[in-house]
Homo-oligomer: A and B are copies of this chain.
Amino acid sequence: MKRSELVAQIRLKKSMLCVGLDTNISLIPEFLRHKPDAIFQFNKAIVDATIDYAVAYKPNIAFYESMGISGWQALEQTVSYIRSLNRPIFLLADAKRGDIGNTSKMYAKTFFEQMDFDAVTVAPYMGEDSVTPFLEYKDKWVIVLGLTSNKGASDFQFLEFDGKPLYEHVITKVQQWGSPENLMFVVGATQTKYIEHIRSIAKDYFFLVPGVGAQGGSLEDVCEYGMNTDFGLLINSTRDIIYASGGDDFADIAGQKAKAMQTSMQKFLK
């Protein structure tokens, strides 16, 4: 998906919502759990119920891998199903990959050729040749970890070099390898006091923002400090939507939760 299409979708749906598909067999409703394609059926129902309020979906690859081959089947089915709807959806693989050039090239092949994702999350530790193979695909994106939402972010990301924290070096350096048309950054919603600064060093870039809701981040703060003139945010919510109900009504409740988040975002999207 091109940047202009993503911006148009946000404007149309009045939403920056990305729904995380961290689908865990032990957390989905009991009545689905024993079906052979339980994971796919759950994802399909969630997508159907939320697609009017979301511009993006983010399967978390770990959850599928952990089930082996049947997990990969469910992931491929989910991607195919979303594409079969013929609606412009930004589909991102939350995979945190990154390796030497010839290996990152294989990861890019996985998510951009084997499956039709628009974007992959990538860890920056190994530097340029671990990131650039993903950028060779037209209209595909790399979403590089900048400042993450978890407690462990403080172990290395705030170490200061020449008066600037590591995450700032990462966000500045990585911009040399791509452009706002094919690069985004992960900026955790729990890091609100840094979002304004990060926006100032990456003005035109989209940020993927996890951590609103279950992890404690505030939607209002993220919008106030993180938006740019093209909106510039994809705000992820997972557990608060997909596991809001564990009963037969899980899809309806997920739809209501997604709609409520979209409504909260709408006032920032005038």
Contacts and interface: CB of A to CB of B under 8 A. Distances in A.
Interface of A: 22, 24, 60, 62-63, 65-69, 72-73, 76, 94, 96-104, 106-107, 109-110, 113-115, 123-131, 145, 148-157, 159-161, 166, 169-170, 173
Shortest Cβ-Cβ A-B pairs, 7 listed = A127-B152, A127-B155, A62-B106, A100-B150, A66-B109, A159-B161, A128-B152
B110 A66 contact: yes
Nearest to A65: B110
Contact of A156 (B24, B115, B173): B173
A156 B72 contact: no
B110 A129 contact: no
B110 A149 contact: no
A67 B114 contact: yes
B125 A124 contact: yes
Given A65-B106, A69-B76, A73-B69, A156 B170 contact: yes
Given A66-B107, A73-B69, A154 B127 contact: yes
Contact of A72 (B63, B72, B126, B128): B72
Contacts of A145: 125-126
A249 B104 CA distance: 30
Most buried by B among A60, A68, A101, A173: A68
A100 B149 contact: yes
Contacts of A170: 156
Most buried by B among A131, A148, A150: A150
B150 A127 contact: yes
A131 B154 CA distance: 14
A134 to B, nearest CB: 12
